[in-house]
């Protein structure tokens, strides 16, 4: 099976070839997949090329050819869809041989974060291998959860929270909140009357209320990993 990003990329390339016969540039692919850098595009292209889904045409700029797609997709060269049809056929789940390393991303692991009272801002950095299928678009990092204030949201002490980097979030989302530039915590975000409330998911804990200028959003929860011993 292809990863989600590999699916998205081959669909985007196929669509552009159907529209005008020209494969997209690396910059266009980076923007379409919401990747942080072109190096991510290079990795995806290489993986698809190694698995025989696309090939680069020599001595031509921006030259990619879709050789085959997962079984429910139509190869670009044979497509009978009109050029202005922007709806792609769903890609199937045909199993292909792949290297496991292509499906694992090493996320920065920035220490522990409180799911309870705020603790000192996270420090240190190692890495955590994460299946690429667990991650959506954007830049991510991982944090080890400390405490039990989010257990009713299914987040437990010792879990690894997978965080998408962002400085904005909607009410009701679970965020990494930095308080007074010193303490970090994982909580539901809620705004009202010019204040920010960080709500726990455990009835044993009280909400934490701050002035809006005291709280900075540093990411929002994208997934969880749990180890069983």
End-to-end CA distance of the chain: 29
Token pair 């002035």: residue: 211
Taking a C-beta distance cutoff of 8 angstroms, is the pair 148, 156 a contact?
yes
CA distances from 150 to 65, 164, 225 (A): 48, 18, 15
Q: Which residues are catalytic?
A: 149, 187
Cα–Cα dist 68/74, whole Å: 8
Tokens of 210: 């701050």
- Cα separation, 18 vs 13, in Å, equals 9
- Alpha helices, DSSP H only, in 98-142? none
């Amino acid at each position: 099976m292809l990863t989600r990003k590999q699916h998205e990329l081959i669909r985007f390339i196929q669509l552009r070839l159907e529209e005008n016969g020209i494969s997209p540039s690396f910059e266009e692919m980076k923007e379409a997949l919401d990747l942080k850098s072109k190096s991510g595009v290079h990795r995806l292209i290489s993986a698809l090329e190694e698995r025989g889904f696309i090939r680069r045409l020599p001595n031509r700029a921006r030259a990619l050819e879709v050789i085959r797609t997962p079984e429910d997709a139509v190869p670009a060269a044979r497509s009978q869809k009109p050029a202005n049809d922007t709806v792609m056929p769903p890609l199937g789940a045909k199993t292909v041989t792949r290297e496991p390393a292509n499906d694992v991303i090493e996320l920065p692991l920035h220490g522990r974060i409180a799911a309870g009272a705020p603790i000192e801002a996270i420090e240190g950095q190692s890495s955590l291998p994460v299946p690429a299928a667990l991650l959506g678009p954007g830049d991510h990092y991982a944090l080890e959860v400390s405490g039990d204030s989010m257990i009713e949201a299914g987040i437990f002490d010792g879990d690894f929270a997978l965080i998408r980097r962002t400085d904005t979030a909607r009410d009701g989302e679970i965020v990494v909140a930095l308080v007074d530039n010193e303490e970090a915590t994982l909580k539901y975000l809620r705004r009202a009357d010019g204040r920010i409330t960080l709500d726990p998911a455990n009835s044993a804990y009280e909400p934490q209320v701050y002035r809006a200028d005291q709280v900075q959003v540093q990411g929002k929860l994208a997934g969880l990993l749990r180890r069983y011993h």
